[in-house]
């Protein structure tokens, strides 16, 4: 779920949101196509405020290709915990593409993203409604002005292969993300975010998440500290340390649990090459 690493890595370079967690501020593309890579280590991984690694560290990284026309494609990856809703899965792979355009201080970003969890099996987790690997397909549109951005994402299939009340489809689940990244100078930056998930046909599934943070660029390495919190229903968003498919239409779960939406401080170090 793309991601914190991109936003953090670029904060020190310019005061504009990026596509991970926040939508990218589209500057005029350079004359030549640009291929970049990114890598980061985070003390915990939160996607839209929700714990993806059972509170454990995450190694994240990916590649981005931006064409001078404004079109772009990319891939981003992170370790995850199977107990976060990906039975037998421990890897997230995101594939995305879109188009960015700048209009002075304003920017436009439209695209699509595919979240994929190789090795996971949703058969037992969803009661046989959805089978195979966990995944999610979204389209998005974002706008930005200077260091502020607003992005809207819309699921075009069942949201991460889950079903809602009474087996209702979760297609149409949406997420609204308002973010700001401000360059203080001398390598320092501050950032803030508020987002809201509207979980289609799921009682107690919708929530709002928040984030505030600070970053420091040290010779190209961006060190960050942030606080992430949500008002997510703790009963609904309880995760286990592991979930596996039992091969008989059910799941086997670990004995330890955590509130996936609890507040947490996250430390990180990342770099874009």
When computed from its CA atoms, the radius of gyration of the chain, rounded to whole angstroms, is 18
The CATH number of the domain where 230 resides is what?
2.40.160.40
pLDDT at res. 11:
36
Q: How far apart are CA 98 and CA 74, in angstroms?
A: 9
* Max CA pair span of the chain: 58
Cα-flanking dihedrals φ and ψ of residue 135, to 5°? -155, 175
Q: Where are the beta strands (DSSP E) in the chain?
A: 34-42, 46-47, 50-51, 58-66, 71-79, 91-103, 106-116, 135-145, 148-155, 174-185, 188-198, 207-218, 221-230, 238-240, 243-245, 251-253, 257-259, 264-272
The confidence score (pLDDT) of residue 2 equals: 53
pLDDT at 76: 99
The residue among 252, 166, 180, 270 whose CA lies nearest residue 216 is 270
Nearest to 58 by CA among 273, 260, 268, 253: 268
Residue 223 CA to residue 268 CA, distance in Å, equals: 6
- Cα–Cα distance between 146 and 161 in angstroms, integer? 36
Would you give per-residue pLDDT tens digits along the chain (273 residues)?
A: 654 433 433 333 333 333 333 333 334 334 467 999 999 999 999 999 999 999 999 999 999 999 999 999 999 999 999 999 999 999 999 999 999 999 999 999 999 999 999 999 999 888 777 889 999 999 999 999 999 999 999 999 999 999 999 999 999 999 999 999 999 999 999 999 999 999 999 999 999 999 999 999 999 999 999 999 999 999 999 999 999 998 888 999 999 999 999 999 999 999 999
Number of domains in the chain: 1
- List the Cα angle 150/222/151 in 5-degree steps: 10
How far is Cα 159 from Cα 62, in angstroms, rounded to an integer?
23
Torsion, CA 25, CA 28, CA 34, CA 37, rounded to 10 = -10
What's residue 220's pLDDT? 97
CA 182 from centroid of its chain's CA atoms: 20
Is the distance from CB of 168 to CB of 130 less than 8 angstroms? no
Helix (H), strand (E) at residue 11:
helix 4-11
Q: Which domain holds residue 245?
A: 4-272
Count CB atoms within 10 A of the CB of residue 211.
22
φ and ψ at 62, to 5 degrees?
Answer: -175, -170
Question: pTM here?
Answer: 0.88
């Amino acid at each position: 779920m793309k991601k914190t690493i991109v936003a953090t890595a670029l904060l020190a370079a310019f005061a504009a949101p990026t596509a991970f967690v926040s939508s990218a501020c589209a500057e005029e593309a350079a004359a030549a196509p640009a291929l970049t890579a990114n890598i980061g280590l985070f003390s915990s991984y939160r996607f839209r405020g929700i714990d993806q690694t059972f509170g454990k560290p995450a190694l994240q990284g990916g590649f981005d290709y931006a064409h001078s026309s404004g079109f772009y494609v990319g891939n981003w990856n992170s370790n995850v915990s199977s107990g976060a809703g990906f039975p037998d899965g421990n890897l997230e792979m995101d594939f995305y593409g879109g188009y960015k355009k700048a209009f002075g201080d304003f920017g436009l970003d439209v695209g699509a993203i595919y979240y994929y969890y190789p090795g996971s099996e949703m058969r037992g987790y969803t009661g046989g409604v959805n089978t195979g690997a966990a995944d999610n397909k979204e389209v998005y549109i974002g706008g930005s002005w200077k260091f502020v951005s607003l992005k809207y994402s819309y699921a075009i299939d069942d949201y991460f292969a889950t079903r809602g009340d009474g087996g209702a489809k979760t297609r149409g689940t949406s997420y609204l993300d308002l973010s700001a990244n401000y360059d203080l100078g001398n390598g320092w930056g501050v950032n803030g975010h508020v987002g809201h998930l509207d979980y289609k046909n799921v009682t107690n599934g919708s929530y709002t998440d928040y984030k505030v943070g600070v970053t420091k660029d040290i010779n190209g390495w961006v060190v960050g500290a942030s606080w992430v919190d949500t008002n997510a229903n703790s009963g609904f968003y309880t995760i286990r340390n592991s979930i596996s498919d039992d091969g008989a239409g059910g799941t086997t779960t670990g004995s330890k649990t955590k509130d996936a939406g609890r507040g947490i401080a996250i430390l990180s170090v990342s770099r874009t090459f």
